[in-house]
Amino acid sequence: MKFLDLAKIYVRSGDGGNGSRSFRREKFIEYGGPDGGDGGRGGDVIIEAADGLNTLIDYRYQQHFMAQNGKKGGGRGLHGANSPPLILKVPVGTEILEEDRETLIADLSRVGDKIIICKGGNGGWGNLHFKTSVNQAPDYANPGLAGQERDIWLRLKLIADAGLVGLPNAGKSTFLKSVSAASPKIADYPFTTLHPNLGVVSLGTESRFVLADIPGLIEGAAEGAGLGTRFLGHVERCAVLLHLIDGTEKDLQKAYQTVRTELEAYSPLLASKPQIVAINKIDSLTTAEQKAKKKKLEKYTGGPVYLVSGVSHKGTKEVAALLFEEVKKAREGEKANALNNDDDETSWEP
């Protein structure tokens, strides 16, 4: 399945049905009076976050979505039928933006989250609705109200607990494959991953988290170089970042700083997330080289640096366990915030 994380669509809700202008005409009933029913309501357009979806590819080949109009009212006081809502399913983590691609309408970050993006038009009143003691034979009815229409952008930000960042060919896809059941493309020649990959890392029955492999950043990505900031949004929801650095690079400090600079330029909040730094591809280094590069990079970053190899799985379990600890802290923090919010709501008194 092709990965698509950005799509522009046009949505329109249904028009309300027209009211009916009708009079009762039956044998032996001289003054039947008005009996025109109201029109039905037009269908709403609803966008809902559904489980089991991980791409917006469904909106690549169809961009126009219109709900049905309400039915017209009829004689004998018959009301027109309301039209059913048009429900558009999107992956969890989808943001809905205005046409300017900046104004946020809604963030569907949980399964079942939904929003009525366009409300259907109300049905028009039939002439029976206007009957009064003074006006006993109204000869008019209201038309249904028009539905709403708008152009919107759907932007997917993957729901992942941890994110893999680094320069191209740092071995992120290989690391993801070594710690999860994901099967991203890997090869013995240099290439750049063109879309994010997700994998579930399992360290035990209740020790699981989702790890996202984000395509490699290059210098100037925040200004649009290379793949630009197209995929940086996917790591905004991550609790922790794993920064992989190719151990065969000549200047590891420069490789580290290049990625950090792009993260800071894109979002200070993203750059402030907890990070674990690891030197990858240690199979290509001697023991002395590993120790020297590790010591030098620790001095530069001011924190611990780990040695891993996605090919031989050296050090991968240790790093995965560290990632899970950070994810666990974030989950506990979210639960605490949710409980505090519930307490605030229940303790309020008028």
Q: What is the pLDDT of residues 100-111, one digit of tens each?
A: 988 999 989 888
Which tens digits make up the pLDDT trace of 178-222? Answer: 888 766 555 454 445 556 777 788 887 677 888 888 775 655 544
pLDDT, position 231 = 63
Q: Residue 341: is its pLDDT beyond 90?
A: no
Q: Can you tell me the mean pLDDT for 251-259?
A: 88
Angle at the Cα of 109 (from 336 to 55), degrees rounded to 5? Answer: 145
Q: Residue 274: is its pLDDT beyond 90?
A: no
Domain ranges for the chain = 1-156, 162-338
Q: Are 44 and 169 in contact (CB under 8 A)?
A: no
Q: Residue 322: is its pLDDT beyond 50?
A: yes
pTM for the whole thing? 0.71
Q: Residue 169: is its pLDDT beyond 60?
A: yes
pLDDT, position 185 = 54
Q: Rounded to whole angstroms, how far apart are CA atoms 282 and 309?
A: 6
Three-state secondary structure string covering the chain: CCCCCEEEEEEECCCCCCCCCCECCECCECCCCECCCCCCCCCCEEEEEECCCCCCHHHCCCCEEECCCCCCCCCCCCCCCCCCCEEEEEECCEEEECCCCCCEEEEECCCCCEEEEECCCCCCCCHHHHCCCCCCCCCCCCCCCCCCEEEEEEEECCCCCEEEECCCCCCHHHHHHHHCCCCCCCCCCCCCCCCCEEEEEECCCCCEEEEEECCCCCCCHHHCCCCCCCCHHHHCCCCEEEEEEECCCCCHHHHHHHHHHHHHHHCHHHHCCCEEEEEECHHHCCHHHHHHHHHHHHHHHCCCEEECCCCCCCCHHHHHHHHHHHHHHHHHHHHHHHHHHHHHHHCCCC
Q: How confident is the model at residue 63 (pLDDT cuts 50, 70, 90)?
A: very high
pLDDT, position 227 = 46
Same fold, 1-156 and 162-338: no
Q: Rounded to whole angstroms, how far apart are CA atoms 316 and 162?
A: 14
Q: Can you tell me the mean pLDDT for 134-145?
A: 90
Q: Are 11 and 115 in contact (CB under 8 A)?
A: no
204: left (phi over 0), alpha (psi -120 to 50) or beta: left
Q: Are 184 and 173 in contact (CB under 8 A)?
A: yes
Any idea which fold 162-338 has? Rossmann fold (3.40.50)
Any idea which fold 1-156 has? Spo0b-associated Gtp-binding Protein; Chain: A, (2.70.210)
Q: Residue 122: is its pLDDT beyond 70?
A: yes
Q: Residue 239: is its pLDDT beyond 60?
A: yes
Q: How confident is the model at residue 344 (pLDDT cuts 50, 70, 90)?
A: low
**207 or 128: which carries more pLDDT confidence?**
128
As a whole-number percent, the residues of the chain with pLDDT over 90 amount to 31
Q: How confident is the model at residue 165 (pLDDT cuts 50, 70, 90)?
A: confident
pLDDT, position 189 = 42
Q: How confident is the model at residue 338 (pLDDT cuts 50, 70, 90)?
A: low
Q: Residue 348: is its pLDDT beyond 70?
A: no
Q: Can you tell me the mean pLDDT for 131-153?
A: 91
Q: Are 232 and 163 in contact (CB under 8 A)?
A: no
Q: How confident is the model at residue 88 (pLDDT cuts 50, 70, 90)?
A: very high
pLDDT, position 13 = 96
How many CB atoms within 10 Å of residue 218? Answer: 16
Q: Rounded to whole angstroms, how far apart are CA atoms 324 and 202?
A: 10
